[in-house]
Structure 1
Amino acid sequence: MSGNGKVKPLEGIRVLGVENQVAGPYCTMMLAAQGAEVIKIEAPGRGDSAREMGPIIKNDKGDKFSGYFLRFNRNKKGITLDINSDKGKEIFKELVKKSDVVVENFRPGFMDKNGIGYKVLKEINPRLIYAAISGFGQMEGYEGPYQKRTAFDMVVQAMGGLMHNVGEADGPPNWLGIALGDLYSGVMAAYGILLAIITREKTGEGQFIDSSMYDNIISLNERALTVYSLTGKVIGRGQESLVYPIGPFKVKDGYIAMIIPIESIWARLCETIGRPELANDERFNSGPKRAQNKDQLQPILDEWLKDKTKKEAEELLLAGRVPVGIVQDAKDIFECPHANARKMFPEIEQPPIGKVKVVDLPLKMSGVEKVQAGPAPLLGQHTDEVLTNVLNLSSDEIAKLREEKVI
């Protein structure tokens, strides 16, 4: 507990991250942001493949660091350990004995084949919570024909239907532009871990958590899937049939976005654009009717918007109590006074490149101590510290492990 009486929710929880790329690292970064001690385990010499990916940032001396890796690995300790070697497995198991959580996002079966899967580790530590993130899931009783497939975010966005929903009616499916399958799978794994920690307080036992990227994307596509379940209709790209106006609208210097989900807001929009009679027009007096008659309604909206800037249109619509926002790019967001008031871009000191601003995790809580955003670890930066403090290995033992290329 800090001097102000507030606690870090996960202080005292030790997490081993046997992780790569995005989903696993994002999960453990969320846990680290609430006070957990996260020990990221990487292969000696090469580390997480995310370290190779851009943008690669250089300092004045030419030292490099991956901005991609930085996005998902802040506030962690980093060690190198060859978990494919017998000695590396032995050390890993010793770490498991003194840890609460293991997070991994390798292909299903990799950890089992290596002799360090959940069934082995729970015998070593019955209180262990083991979270596995994979493309298509792996828990016994839920095996499907795709279980062994390799998956990346693009793949599950396609298969889960999100890409089908995005784009113009006569155009191809589109990726959402963010690694939603990875990020959300990390969030769901973190959610599962928190539930498992609460359950462990009641039962004294850990458990296995299975976070499937495909399942997670399907759950996010619930609107289209529910519409199909209830009506037999497949929602098409650019063919909204239930709500209008919805989406981006062009103005003089860019785009704004608005949605009119209910009739009271539709009436306010009509008043704002100087066409109050449209509120009760038989063609437009419900969301489905407006969607059906979009070709008649959109020119009216376009005519009102065409000579207005983003800011002007936003101010007029907000004054009329119509939900609206400017379509912003990264520069706009970094300069946004509200995002900055919410402290979304903390500055950290990241070796070796120096001071950088990062995107913080968004959750705010009144009764906990805020964990300040910190740097991502250099490859193997904390190996000696962890092996000394957690496993009580001597400097000579650590030197021997390094000589044998176990660390």
Structure 2
Amino acid sequence: MLRDGQRHLTTTGALAGLRVVDLTQMLAGPFCTQMLADHGADVIKVEALSGDGTRVTGPFCADDALRDFGGYFQSVNRNKRSIAVDLKTEAGREILRRLIDEADVVVENFRAGVMERLGLSYEVLRETNPRLVYGAVRGFGDPRSGASPYVQWPAYDVVSQAMGGMMGITGPDRHTPTKIGPGVGDTIPALMLCIGILAAAHRARDTGKGQFVDVAMTDAVLAMCERIVYQVSYTGTAPAPEGNRHPLLCPFGLFRARDGHVSIACATDAFWVKLACAIGREDLAHDRAFATNAARVAHQDQVIDAIEAFTIVRSKKEIGLVLGGKVPFGPVYTAAEIFADEHYAVREMLVEVEQPGSATPVKIAGVPIKLSESPGAVRRRAPMLGEHTEEILTAAGYLPHQIAKLRDDRTIL
């Protein structure tokens, strides 16, 4: 897997030397490959001549006259190199084959059958690269792992959130299923695909044999909603949206403040005692009717009313001065409050990068996985379309006149 001869000179991190051919677009696939790139993998993003569709999705900086890409693309494609290739041509497919033959991993999120129609199925690719790890993320998975009746259905975040069970337990009441704000129907599958790829790459390093890694977006969301499975199995009752409460724990959820909301989560009886005393309700702290979690769930309206009597007349900051560090507590932040909080600055979670076409740098979310000896990093901005085409083809053995002809033929940009 990690071969010194293929190390990219500008790459550092725990995955330095791992070469990834990235055929993904939109969110789930690019989020996965970006995590690999953050930790040192050399990720070659192979795009159509028109580019990843999210390049035209904003927001854009006001002074950006270039508009090669906006915030969406910048946020999930950093640390990658871009090559633009027309895979509808035989020459384009030959370029891709050569890149994959020298790669450790290929990742795609096309609908099932697309790579087969291009003559680039996993079974074909592994003939010349037996150690290849082939990762795929699709709405309903790949038939190799189990042929879903929905295998040809296209899917986005809202589809996997809906069918994976997440929306069905989210919302203000049992009659109002609600979409989760961020695209977790994409990013959760991306995380699981990343884990699968690393597991398979680890095995390939020892055995020389790759494998197919298949993640269905709906499966990944269901796995993250694990509670709904055992609740039905154990009780025979399907859970429904519970608003900002928890069906099994109390107090555990959101509470109104004078200027918004705060979260308080007392999953143990010891935390409950500390909370009750902190809000001036020592009577509840020592009342046997509230001594256990089961008792508090049974009397949750009284518990919530007691806590909100304290929180609703105070600001989030004032509540934090009382509860912070004593019980699990956090204010519900707006994005502006996240930008102002020192935590995210010292943790390097708001990272400034160049935005081509704009005189002003922009900020994107940083690397959340912190390694002490080989830390990941945001080393460079997202690539412009085809920015590294010549560099990549030269490294793959193409001569200058061959590259020029491919460009003249509109096989590459």
Normalising by the smaller structure, the TM-score range is over 0.9
CA apart distance, 1:127: 1.2
Does the CA contact (< 8 Å) of 1:241 and 1:288 recur in 2?
no
For the structure 1 residues 369 and 271, does the alpha-carbon distance in structure 2 shift closer, same or farther, using more than 3 Å as the test?
A: closer
For the structure 1 residues 53 and 337, does the alpha-carbon distance in structure 2 shift closer, same or farther, using more than 3 Å as the test?
A: same
Give the match for residue 278 of structure 1.
284
Distance (Å, rounded) in 2 between the aligned partners of 1:337 and 1:32:
26
Q: Does 1:107 align with 2:111?
A: yes
Distance (Å, rounded) in 1 between the aligned partners of 2:211 and 2:376:
28
State the AA in 1 paired with 2:254: P
Give the match for residue 405 of structure 2.
400
Question: Which of 9, 14, 21 is the aligned partner of 2:19?
Answer: 14
Distance (Å, rounded) in 2 between the aligned partners of 1:177 and 1:357:
20
Distance (Å, rounded) in 1 between the aligned partners of 2:96 and 2:65:
36
Q: Does 1:140 align with 2:128?
A: no
State the AA in 2 paired with 1:120: V
**C-alpha distance after superposition, 1:122-146 (max 9, x if no partner):** 0121111110111111152422212
Distance (Å, rounded) in 1 between the aligned partners of 2:256 and 2:175:
19
1:284-323 → structure 2 map (5 Å cutoff): 284-318=290-324, 321-323=326-328
Distance (Å, rounded) in 2 between the aligned partners of 1:60 and 1:271:
55
State the AA in 2 paired with 1:185: P
Q: Which shows bigger deviation, 300-309 or 34-43?
A: 300-309
Does the CA contact (< 8 Å) of 1:20 and 1:49 recur in 2?
yes
For the structure 1 residues 236 and 63, does the alpha-carbon distance in structure 2 shift closer, same or farther, using more than 3 Å as the test?
A: closer
State the secondary structure of the residue aligned to 1:144.
Answer: coil
Does the CA contact (< 8 Å) of 2:92 and 2:411 recur in 1?
yes
State the secondary structure of the residue aligned to 2:290.
Answer: coil
Does the CA contact (< 8 Å) of 2:14 and 2:376 recur in 1?
no
Distance (Å, rounded) in 2 between the aligned partners of 1:273 and 1:369:
41
Distance (Å, rounded) in 2 between the aligned partners of 1:47 and 1:64:
9
State the AA in 1 paired with 2:356: P
For the structure 1 residues 17 and 68, does the alpha-carbon distance in structure 2 shift closer, same or farther, using more than 3 Å as the test?
A: same
Instruction: State percent identity of aligned pairs.
Output: 38
Distance (Å, rounded) in 2 between the aligned partners of 1:142 and 1:152:
20
CA apart distance, 1:244: 1.4
CA apart distance, 1:203: 1.1
Question: Which of 207, 213, 236 is the aligned partner of 2:217?
Answer: 213
1:128-277 → structure 2 map (5 Å cutoff): 128-169=132-173, 171-238=175-242, 240-277=246-283
Does the CA contact (< 8 Å) of 2:68 and 2:356 recur in 1?
no
State the secondary structure of the residue aligned to 2:303.
Answer: helix
Q: Does 1:28 align with 2:39?
A: no
Q: Which shows bigger deviation, 155-164 or 234-243?
A: 234-243
Distance (Å, rounded) in 2 between the aligned partners of 1:201 and 1:40:
23
CA apart distance, 1:20: 0.8
State the secondary structure of the residue aligned to 1:39.
Answer: strand
State the secondary structure of the residue aligned to 1:51.
Answer: helix
State the AA in 2 paired with 1:270: A
Q: Does 1:41 align with 2:46?
A: yes
State the AA in 2 paired with 1:136: F
State the AA in 2 paired with 1:159: M
State the AA in 1 paired with 2:183: A
Q: Tell me the TM-score normalized by structure 2.
A: 0.92
**C-alpha distance after superposition, 1:332-380 (max 9, x if no partner):** 1111111111111121223232421211120111111543431111111
**C-alpha distance after superposition, 1:94-132 (max 9, x if no partner):** 111111110001101110111111011001211111101
Distance (Å, rounded) in 2 between the aligned partners of 1:120 and 1:205:
14
Distance (Å, rounded) in 1 between the aligned partners of 2:338 and 2:289:
38
Q: Does 1:360 align with 2:361?
A: no
State the AA in 1 paired with 2:133: I
Q: Tell me the TM-score normalized by structure 1.
A: 0.94
**C-alpha distance after superposition, 1:50-75 (max 9, x if no partner):** 11112122436565631111111001
**C-alpha distance after superposition, 1:238-292 (max 9, x if no partner):** 2633211121111111111111111111111111122212134344232233223
Q: Give unmatched runs, 5+ long, in structure 1.
A: none
Distance (Å, rounded) in 2 between the aligned partners of 1:101 and 1:217:
24
Q: Does 1:67 align with 2:35?
A: no
Q: Does 1:374 align with 2:383?
A: no
Distance (Å, rounded) in 2 between the aligned partners of 1:60 and 1:31:
29
State the AA in 1 paired with 2:259: D
State the AA in 2 paired with 1:251: A
Q: Give unmatched runs, 5+ long, in structure 2.
A: none
For the structure 1 residues 341 and 48, does the alpha-carbon distance in structure 2 shift closer, same or farther, using more than 3 Å as the test?
A: same
**C-alpha distance after superposition, 1:33-64 (max 9, x if no partner):** 111111101111x1100111121224365656
Does the CA contact (< 8 Å) of 2:189 and 2:220 recur in 1?
yes
Q: Does 1:123 align with 2:138?
A: no
State the secondary structure of the residue aligned to 1:57.
Answer: coil
State the secondary structure of the residue aligned to 1:32.
Answer: helix
Distance (Å, rounded) in 2 between the aligned partners of 1:50 and 1:61:
17
Distance (Å, rounded) in 2 between the aligned partners of 1:23 and 1:334:
25
State the AA in 1 paired with 2:173: A
Q: Which shows bigger deviation, 218-227 or 62-71?
A: 62-71
